[in-house]
A = this chain, B = another copy of it.
Amino acid sequence: MTIPPLSQIAQNMRPSPIRELFKVIGRPGMISFAGGLPSPQVFPVREFAECSSILQRDGATLLQYGASEGYPPLTEWLREATGQHLRRSITPEELLVTSGSQQALDLVGRALLDPGDVVVVEAPTYPGAIHALRNVGARFAAVPCDGEGMQVDRLRDVVEAAEKQTGRWPKLIYTIPDFSNPSGACMSLARRRQLVDTARELGIPVFEDDPYGRLRYLGEPVPALASLDGASGSVLYASSFSKILAPGVRVAWIVGPPRLIRALVMLRQGEDLCTPVVTQGLVAEYCRRGLLERHLPRILDHYRVKRDAMQAELRRALSAGGAEWYEPEGGFFFWLRLPGRDSQAVFDRAIEEKVAFLPGRAFYPGDSEQVGQVRGGREFARLAFTFAEPDQIAEGCRRLAKVLD
């Protein structure tokens, strides 16, 4: 027997750029700045394991089917914490627990987009966002970024050009305003206000993806987009435990208007019913005990050292060769411009020298799914500073300098 032809969506899939590189990245002696992985050194293994007492105490609930909206002790904690962050109270009808913020975006894409619809992303942007939206047949228009994030004054032109080219008004704007993956940039307050205002005028909802916001090593926090749009509900806010606790729990959440949250809940009843109650219970217990707030300073201290090391080593080893970057104040990444170089070719040589990063092309939509001039990334490289040790970071930067020489 043969499986019938795959669906249009499945035929258009492309393998994850990171997975494609796994084989080479895993070679012995390789120093990898490629994967955006948290350091296992900051996983609170003992404290989290101790929370498993809840599996005994509340086992009959945690082992049963749960509400698609989320496990109530967790949703209550999240409403309180996110309410403080967004400076308003959040009702139960506005919040949904998801299996990673990846699923939050997947569900929003399914709820809002028909095949061929247009999403505005930043250039560069998170490949997993492109993947989720490609899974529902989206096309992509892009707004360039600089050290202050999305160049919002170009947003209206990008939207109007996309409408002219496709006959469709874009349905969604996707952004990571705090320490973007891959650019590391934090959107300035002025641009945030401008983005919220412009999006409201254009009538396009904004998906604010905020996995890194709590990971600030320098400077002052900037308010979330979702805290600037008042009660208008133009911003969907998603965050996650992946970077502040552990990705292996796959617990995240999204806050949005009740009508949309209801649609997401119904969609996921056909997708996976609910996020495992077992992991929601463990995370809720971890938060209830106050362990998250006690743990965050340890994470910040750990990553700050690594960020500082990479900043110093890049300056020492690479800046003479013309490499340029904006210094990230938080998050996981440096986004290097290597003027005149093809970062894919640099990557191929770097692998021989046993240092890995991600070439910039991975952070742009594919040619066939672009609307307008999105092309880019050729001169860029993403370096994650979270996973390698400080001495590896120094050695890795030296190897990179050798390649670039």
Contact = CB atoms under 8 A, between A and B. Distances in A.
Interface stretch (A263-271, A292-300, A330-338): A263-271
Interface string A1-19: 1111011111001111001
A295 to B, nearest CB: 12
28 contacts: A1-B199, A1-B200, A1-B234, A3-B112, A3-B259, A6-B111, A9-B114, A10-B263, A37-B64, A43-B59, A45-B56, A46-B59, A48-B59, A63-B246, A64-B247, A65-B242, A99-B276, A110-B135, A128-B270, A131-B269, A131-B270, A248-B277, A250-B272, A250-B273, A250-B276, A271-B271, A276-B276, A276-B279
Interface stretch (A100-108, A177-185, A363-371): A100-108
| Total copies of the chain | 2
B276 A1 contact: no
Contact of A205 (B1, B15, B111): B1
A205 B3 contact: yes
Interface of A: 1-4, 6-10, 13-16, 19, 37-38, 40, 43, 45-46, 48-49, 52-53, 55-56, 59-66, 98-100, 102-103, 106, 110-115, 117, 128, 131-136, 171, 199-200, 203-205, 229, 232-234, 242, 245-251, 257, 259-260, 263, 266-267, 269-279, 282
Contacts of A229: 1
Contacts of A43: 59-60, 63-64
A249 B37 contact: no
A65 B250 CA distance: 9
A9 B3 CA distance: 25
A257 B4 CA distance: 12
Contacts of A245: 63
A12 to B, nearest CB: 10
Contacts of A60: 40, 43, 45
